[in-house]
Chains A and B, each alone.
Chain A
Amino acid sequence: MSPLPARLDDAGDPGIMRRREWFRKLVGGLIGIGLLLVPLGTGLLFLLNPLRRRADQHGFSRVASVDSLPMGTPRHFMVRGRRRDAWEVGAQVPLGAVYLVRQETGIRAFQVICPHAGCFVGFETVKRRFLCPCHDSSFGLDGAISDPESPSPRGLDELDVKIEKGEVLVRYQEFRPGVRERIAVS
């Protein structure tokens, strides 16, 4: 009594056996890749979604009245506007803040976020300069870097300002910190 061969037709043919073995490995490998690719690939696309989101493009919003600005002393004001954040869309939500500087030549607006690492820049009344409380970047009243040792790669980011009927309107924007060029976050 001899044991039955596994398959009657190819019993004993080593070539066929090798080819079948090789084919099994190939298909097994492909199945393995498929098992990984479906969750990993779809998961990756899911995680990459923020790359497709765009930052809000803001119009001008009213932040203060001209009369309320003292000459030569910057003051920060909250800016409200429309903001889309994932599922949520708000019409008049706080977006951030700006410094308004009133001088004889007119009113200028600066983003309060330090172009170095993103802290809220303060103003030193005595020394008459903007000073970042984080890494000591300092800026003059015109927003330019006032100390060559400042860690900031550029001056404060100036924002577009409009005066209408005694009111100051500002177009709110944020910029990428840490680079010399002014690149709006988009």
Chain B
Amino acid sequence: MDTLPHSTTSWPDSLPGAFERALLAIDRVRAWQVMEDALRRGVPALQLAQMCITPALERIGQGWESGVLALSQVYMAGRIAEEVVDGLFPPPEVLRGGQPHIALALLEDYHALGKRMVHLVLRSAGYRCVDYGRVTAEELSERIQEEAPDRVLVSTLMYRSALRVEVVKSSLLRAGCAIPLCVGGAPFRFHAGLWRNVGADAWGAEAADALAFVEGRLKGAP
């Protein structure tokens, strides 16, 4: 992964806050203005992504987790951030060198919002992801074994779907596949130990935790 300069020369003091406020106000125009101003001042694109966009999305995610913000705000913030990144910055593979192979999956459900929000956060941080879409436990296990991603993020909504993670993980372990798997979704938010019970390697309380998982800084995760 690229390293960042810690210098904040040319870094406008109000930039992260202004961008976050624009996201929460669902103000696309303002969000674009904030980023364009920063680029004009010479702030590098990757630095903007890592020190402005990503922290804003992480704070917004934490706001949802603590009950201060609503999911509608988190989702719209992620969408605007993605549009800004797509419009102003180079493609992920150019923006960020040494891309890990990240896979996303929705396990046995039709509610794709959680996976989509994880995708938005990762995309906004300059990561490229492979989206497996809606899959059964068996399909997910097979695809992971075929493609051997570096990290897998699994979204669930129903309790039954959460339990199906155990089928995926058992199948992978039987095949000698130890690829780290992070789970998220409502059932895991209502049962603190459920992710361990189903054999996952980590869990995320909100979409921005996916970024911490991918970057190896999620507490307790590999």
Please determine whether chains A and B interact with each other in the same assembly: no
